[in-house]
Chain A
């Protein structure tokens, strides 16, 4: 965690509140209430709530966790928002989190992990899980450019970021399925894409949430070194799932990471120091 100080005065944000937007929230709730904290899945850029509705929501619910996934504005079934910023996305996450019946666990995937990191400074989450986190900065850009120049370069000039099938999934996932998922990808706001590179780093989290970082060493979007760096920010080590692509929730072996997350939560991790 960075050593920045808490911020009390936010005159600009008070003066210019975020525009409300219609948000898509998908959910799967266990039949019996088991006093487990609700999970809120936050998809990364281009993805929508559908990415979690595919496998993870139902699986979490079957293990007794109420599970929700939202589509950030401009994604999935949420309202179009071409001018969205990271701040608008953060607003979407805190709004949905605060609407849940109990203190939620925020689970962010890809650039959604960066949004979650911002949201943690605004909402005292029960815990946070960063899945294959793209926390931004120029290093991320370099990796993306090297691995997928054709899909990345247009984003520099305000175009959409296009992720390829091979960046997102391992070869274990059938081609048909991979194509189906890639066809559903949308794009994030132009300004939000830029802010991922140049924007301000997240402020320190409130409410001392324990944070788990996990990903795959064979991820072709987030290199293993970036995973380690992300985990170190939260004083831990990443949990690794070799052989999987960037989209752990859609890949062939989707069950392993979600089970690891739920196991971690069942152990009721202690609040972070601070």
Chain B
């Protein structure tokens, strides 16, 4: 394997006779697997594929590992105060524990150091081509893939290599989703998406309107409460604001105690409502709307401070926005407010611009892939998407097991093709399967999975594979 740190990249492409569809030469990489992205999911894919004996080429558009969690990256959504939402045991890679003297909810800079140590510990950097972006990924005959790359920013020539399999780990929290409002163009105040929010200094002394009650929206509202001169928080509906600690322990650990005891969903919801009533109290008293759903039916929000600041009058909850005027914002209840900064914490959409939408089963081109286990596409047995999940818990554990499953599947494909064919049938039959309870229909919940349901389904798939060997 060539080293990715060679700056000149002088090594000539291996001699080959293959050509792309439009007649350019292709470097045949044999049984090597291509991984796109060296963020958390990409790294664990590289590690698990290499562990199963595969050669791996990983392309990363940035110059470091860590993807979204590396604040130096221009696509990174982290802000100065980003901390984990799920506690450590749910968030770490299952075979590479985070230091146990770290806090329950580590800071994003600790996460980055964790990924850098992971990359060094398993010697992953030698597989990664930094500063290289993927332009096109095309399926070719024999379930193989032509991957065309170039230097990030479009400099230099394009290069095409042919791989035995491809793992897409390009992340889904970097392409901002911006809602449309009447009159937004004419608004004279400042407007930004949460992805460009980095530091509370951006809020200091301003009159701030935060739109959206995801975990980011709530974090920014809390920081606006501390820093800005005024803060409004607009939400579409009432939510359950879970504290990060209940009964003196991280809330997700308490929740999983119930899961471990196999307490049914209805009972868990009842217990959860009851715990929230005792700890957080009745939110409508603060002017927040009453939740129109049960807990577990929207992506969980874990924020102990939001309700606190609402109670101190530092955050004014407001309903949805109706339209923008030149210096004010009209709300759906007819009120008008006059912020000078509007922060849209309205989330992100996945983007696979290098791949034809049909490959991932997105026939209508709405941007929503149709996959099994959120990872496998029908008709493309050598393709996997890793990390395209919105779990009610940590994501890295899931990425790890997805890539373990894919690596073992590829091995099985070589040793027992019939066993792998059974897996393909399961993929085709299970497209679009959900792994969460009923959730509100929204792009927010496209990839929503309950971590227990999802991991159990993945565990079954792994055991079926082992059985097929």
Q: How many A-B residue pairs have CB under 8 A?
A: 85
Residue-wise interface mask of A (96-125) relative to B, using a CB-CB cutoff of 8 A (1 in contact, 0 not): 001111110000000000000000001110
Question: Contact: B458 with A20, CB < 8 Å?
Answer: no
Question: Contact: B455 with A100, CB < 8 Å?
Answer: no
Q: For residue A22, which residue of chain B has the nearest CB?
A: B101
Q: Does A12 contact B (CB under 8 A)?
A: yes
A115 to B456, CA, bound (A): 27
Question: Contact: A98 with B51, CB < 8 Å?
Answer: no
Residue in contact with B459 in the complex, picked from A7, A18, A94, A100, CB distance below 8 Å: A7
Question: Contact: A8 with B458, CB < 8 Å?
Answer: yes
Question: Contact: A102 with B120, CB < 8 Å?
Answer: yes
Interface residues on A, range: 20 to 34
Q: Does B462 contact A (CB under 8 A)?
A: yes
Question: Contact: B121 with A98, CB < 8 Å?
Answer: yes
Q: Does A14 contact B (CB under 8 A)?
A: yes
Q: Does A183 contact B (CB under 8 A)?
A: no
SS of B interface (majority): helix
A12 to B260, CA, bound (A): 6
SS of A interface (majority): loop
Question: Contact: A6 with B462, CB < 8 Å?
Answer: yes
Q: For residue A17, which residue of chain B has the nearest CB?
A: B89
A21 to B121, CA, bound (A): 23
Q: Does A91 contact B (CB under 8 A)?
A: yes
Question: Contact: A15 with B97, CB < 8 Å?
Answer: no
Question: Contact: A101 with B256, CB < 8 Å?
Answer: no
Q: Does A9 contact B (CB under 8 A)?
A: yes
Q: For residue A208, which residue of chain B has the nearest CB?
A: B51
A124 to B404, CA, bound (A): 12
A10 to B394, CA, bound (A): 14
Residue in contact with A98 in the complex, picked from B96, B256, B259, B452, CB distance below 8 Å: B96
Q: For residue B467, which residue of chain A has the nearest CB?
A: A5
Q: Does A13 contact B (CB under 8 A)?
A: yes
Q: For residue A92, which residue of chain B has the nearest CB?
A: B100
Q: Does A206 contact B (CB under 8 A)?
A: yes
Residue in contact with A15 in the complex, picked from B100, B254, B458, B459, CB distance below 8 Å: B254
Q: Does A174 contact B (CB under 8 A)?
A: no
Question: With A15-B256, A16-B253, A208-B51 known to touch, is A9 a contact of B89 (CB < 8 Å)?
Answer: no
Question: With A15-B254, A16-B253 known to touch, is A91 a contact of B100 (CB < 8 Å)?
Answer: yes
Question: Contact: A8 with B459, CB < 8 Å?
Answer: yes
A199 to B123, CA, bound (A): 35
A91 to B101, CA, bound (A): 13
A7 to B96, CA, bound (A): 15
Q: Does A198 contact B (CB under 8 A)?
A: no
Q: Does B189 contact A (CB under 8 A)?
A: no
Q: For residue B93, which residue of chain A has the nearest CB?
A: A98
Question: Contact: A18 with B100, CB < 8 Å?
Answer: yes
Interface residues of B in 65-120 (CB under 8 A from A): 88-90, 94-97, 99-101, 117, 120
Q: Does A62 contact B (CB under 8 A)?
A: no
Interface residues of B in 428-456 (CB under 8 A from A): 452, 455-456
Q: List 14 A-B contacts (CB under 8 A).
A: A6-B462, A6-B463, A10-B94, A14-B256, A15-B253, A16-B253, A20-B101, A91-B100, A94-B97, A95-B99, A103-B123, A122-B95, A124-B122, A207-B51
- Known: A6-B466, A207-B95; 6 extra A-B contacts, CB below 8 A, are A5-B466, A6-B459, A8-B458, A11-B256, A16-B253, A17-B88
Seen from chain A, the residues whose Cβ lies within 8 Å of a Cβ on chain B are 5-18, 20-21, 91, 94-95, 98-103, 122-124, 206-208, 271
Seen from chain B, the residues whose Cβ lies within 8 Å of a Cβ on chain A are 51, 53, 88-90, 94-97, 99-101, 117, 120-123, 252-257, 259-260, 401, 404, 452, 455-456, 458-459, 462-463, 466
